[in-house]
Amino acid sequence: MTNLLHLDTSIRYEGSVTREISGAFAENWRAANPGGGYVHRDLHASPIPHKDGTDQGISADLIAEVDAADVILIGAPMYNFSIPSTLKAWIDQVATSEHFAREDGTFAWGGKRVVVVTARGGSYKPGTPRESFDFQEPYLRAVLSMVGLDQNLEFVHAELTLADVVPQMHQFRELAVESLADAHRVVKELAGA
């Protein structure tokens, strides 16, 4: 039996692009894996406490969820060019030294599949003016690599999500629609793989 761990981090419910797309992935994955296990953790509705140097008693439960998962789905909107603080708090609780590379270079979590769904108000693709402002994907790639969760890692980006809201971006509305449609197409393919 395969298991999916689904993390949502958006502060929005209505109109959240990451919730929409990660929800589509989860729905398609569950249809393709009818006997699979599914855990959904909404890090905005039930935030994880930030590390404070004490034994908070939360890490073991979170680590057990990662241990049990074959697929980890992370919905991560871009906030101020990075990730939501709720996702950072989760990472701090699970990405501990006990999950770093073993002496032989392997990782306990090395065989897991990870899909990160992002929503970005602008475009941060290579060659765009704001490419260097992307601290979201590079950070997640780096921190996930620390615990071996980068070995089967896919990013699905929905970009230009503010094109309808910011007047200076209205010229990019068609590109935003294309980006959202492409993200939906990609998660459908990934969920069935």
Burial class (CB in 10 A: 0-12, 13-18, 19+), 37: middle
Binding residues for FMN: 10, 78-81
Predicted pLDDT of residue 28? 97
Predicted pLDDT of residue 132? 96
Binding residues: 10, 78-81
Question: What is the distance between the terminal CA atoms of the chain, rounded to a whole angstrom?
Answer: 15
Average pLDDT over residues 24-52: 96
pTM for this model (two decimals): 0.95
Domain total in the chain? 1
Residue 30 structural domain: 3-192
Q: What is the tens place of the pLDDT at every residue in 64-119? A: 999 999 999 999 999 999 999 999 999 999 998 899 999 999 999 999 999 999 99
Per-residue pLDDT at 1 exceeds 80: no
CATH number at residue 88: 3.40.50.360
Tokens at 159, concatenated:
């970009």
At 53, the pLDDT band (50, 70, 90 cuts) reads: confident
Per-residue pLDDT at 193 exceeds 90: no
**What 3-state class would DSSP assign to 20?**
helix
Strands (E) across the chain are located at 3-8, 37-42, 71-77, 113-119, 153-158
Q: What is the tens place of the pLDDT at every residue in 148-180? A: 999 999 999 999 999 999 999 999 999 999 999
Q: Collect all residues with Cβ–Cβ distance below 8 Å to 10 and sequence separation of at least 6.
A: 16, 18, 19, 44, 75, 77, 84, 119
